Amino acid sequence: MQIFGNLLRTSGLGRVVPVVVGGLVAAVVLAPVSASSWGGGSTGCANSGCTTPFAVPLPIPQTLSPTSQDATTDYYTVTEQPANLSVIPGKTTPMWTYNGTWPGPVIKATSGRQVKLHVINNLSFATTTHLHGAHVAPSSDGGPVDLVPVGGTRDYVYPNNESARTQWYHDHVKDLTGKNVYMGLAGLYLISDAQEQALNLPNGAYDVPLAIQDRTFNTDGTLAYAPSSSDYRTGLMGDTLFVNGAAQPYLKVSTHKYRFRILNGSNARYYTFSLSNGATMSQIATEAGLLSKPYAQSSITLAPAERADVVVDFGNVPVGTSVTLRNNSGWNGATDIMRFDVNSSTNDPSTVPATLRPFTPLSASAVSVRRTFTIEQQRDGMWTFNGKMYDSARVDANVALGATEEWTFQNKSGQDHPIHMHDINFQVVSGANSSSSGPNSEWKETINVPSWSSVTVRTQFPDFTGIYMFHCHILEHEDHMLMSQFKVG
Ligand code: C2O
Ligand code: CU
Ligand code: CU
């Protein structure tokens, strides 16, 4: 199914136009836009997508149904396929998708129950599907050279021994991850568990994923993915912000608490999120699942691939008013992400308990090995760890199964780098902003390493042996060799 395939919207100022989304017709008033704020001149476009803020409803990505289930396993099938989608007004955008939608369908897994994901590759190039954040055997990790050929299939096995958390899956082909993700190959994968369910957090319709991605379009509606050499340095940023595949959408909410699972699924853009009414967000989870307690945050910065589950309480917001989710980060503007329109009042039995999940720090005395990886950009534009470009035949760290190690990422460049390790989660022990007291002081799986500084993480390598990646998650850096491998066992 195409979630928002019938977006019959003409451009115009202050006109009422029908918007057809998933078969529902709604009258939407397009607000007049002041020409001075466009920067787009006579085209009347604020951005390459010529979109109007808050004109389309937030799509909720479809939840994938299992093809079958047995005592231990849920079986899912996803088809990688081209699709022509309507994501900006009046244009058709050819994309590469999971099951024909952008983002792909949501897979809802249960902690302790295995998922077998059958991927059919109906695209015209080889792919690989990586479940980002998953603790899996290397054979199911979707590494950059572990390809599914054109017309081929692959069965990925995810044990889901992790606790509840917000993960995502995306393509991971060597040199092409940036392009493939930009073209649409990403989706959410949510794990729940009994402990989380018992917390009485907002759930059901009050548990909403927000997958945030930025895109730039050519005038014919095609996606403009053509990184220049300066994009190899900064990463490639789009000029139009999308949430769940809709440009700057609105969501009708009631006077209730909502759990928003925010994914920064952008190739390179960082966001600093805040609410226009000055309210705090209760951050209840990182990429690595529930925190020990909720952290009240007036703003939250997420680098590419980072996630934050937050609870926003609209309980005191007057019906008939709106709250905007903003991006305060300076990179290329792009301020308004989406708008919450409070349009009904409702009783709210949900809670945000003062304690969520116990957090046990890994002890420094258990650390047996310390390693340092220095990040630099070489003269040819390629990025390196310790002077070496990614090579699938080379392993840069041999780790004993079960070992506790400390890894320092030393950033000798003027760019920030969100470093992500496959297979494991880690604890930041020094270096990252607010590492000593904020949510980033607990379990993480992607951490920003600011320019000209270093971050040290402590981790353990349990269960699985074999070769895994670690890399920068600015996809243009990853595709320009800022990737390396460790081997467990
Ligand atoms: Cu999200 Cu190795 O990736
Ligand atoms: Cu990953
Ligand atoms: Cu980087």
pLDDT: is 271 or 7 the higher one?
271
* Whether the CB of 326 sits within 6 Å of ligand 1: no
User: In Å, what is the CA distance from 243 to each residue of 58, 213, 339, 415?
Assistant: 7, 6, 11, 26
pLDDT given at position 44: 66
CB 145 within 8 A of CB 392: yes
State the CATH architecture for 364-488.
Sandwich (2.60)
One-letter amino acid of 472: C
pLDDT higher than threshold 60 for residue 460:
yes
Among 35, 31, 37, smallest CA distance to 53 is for 31
Q: Which ligand is nearest to the CA of 470?
A: 1
* DSSP single-letter state for residue 333: -
Cβ–ligand 1 distance for 422 under 6 Å, the answer: yes
Distance CA 451, CA 432 (A): 11
Q: Whose CA is nearest to atom 3 of ligand 1?
A: 132
Superfamily of domain 68-196: Cupredoxins -  blue copper proteins (2.60.40.420)
Around Cβ 471, how many Cβ atoms within 10 Å? 28
- Average pLDDT rounded to a whole number, residues 46-68: 96
> For residue 165, what are the β-bridge partners?
191
pLDDT digits (tens, 9 = 90+) for 15-53: 333 333 333 333 333 333 333 333 333 446 889 999 999
Neighbours of ion ligand 3 (CB under 5 A): 417, 472, 474, 477
pLDDT the model gives residue 433: 62
Q: Is the CB of 420 under 6 A from ligand 1?
A: yes
Q: What is the mean pLDDT of residues 106-129?
A: 98
> Tens digits of per-residue pLDDT, 282-308?
999 999 999 999 999 999 999 999 999
What's the CA gap between 210 and 243, in Å, rounded? Answer: 6
Sign, CA dihedral 295-109-473-332, equals negative
2-51+202-344 and 68-196 share one fold? yes
pLDDT band at 330 (very low <50, low <70, confident <90, very high): low
- pLDDT bracket for residue 437 (50, 70, 90): confident
Q: Which two tokens stand for residue 242?
A: 């999308």
pLDDT at 332: 63
Atom of ligand 1 at shortest range from CA of 478: 2
- Region 351-367: what's the mean pLDDT? 97
Burial environment of residue 485 by CB neighbours within 10 A (0 to 12, 13 to 18, 19 or more) = buried
The single-letter code of the amino acid at 186 is A
CA gap 417, 208 in Å, rounded: 28
Backbone angles phi, psi at 341, to 5 degrees: -100, 110
Neighbours of ion ligand 2 (CB under 5 A): 132, 422
Architecture of domain 2-51+202-344: Sandwich (2.60)
> Region 338-360: what's the mean pLDDT?
98
List residues bridging with 241 in a β-sheet.
214
Q: Which two tokens stand for residue 140?
A: 């199911």
Strand segments, DSSP code E, in 138-248 are: 153-158, 165-171, 186-192, 207-215, 240-243, 246-247
Domain segments of the chain: what residues? 2-51+202-344, 68-196, 364-488
pLDDT at 312 over 50: yes
Mean pLDDT of 224-249: 94
Cβ–ligand 1 distance for 471 under 6 Å, the answer yes
What's the CA gap between 228 and 116, in Å, rounded? 39
pLDDT digits (tens, 9 = 90+) for 462-483: 999 999 999 999 999 999 999 9
329 or 485, greater pLDDT? 485
Is the pLDDT higher at 334 or at 20?
Answer: 334
CB of 444 sitting under 6 A from ligand 1: no
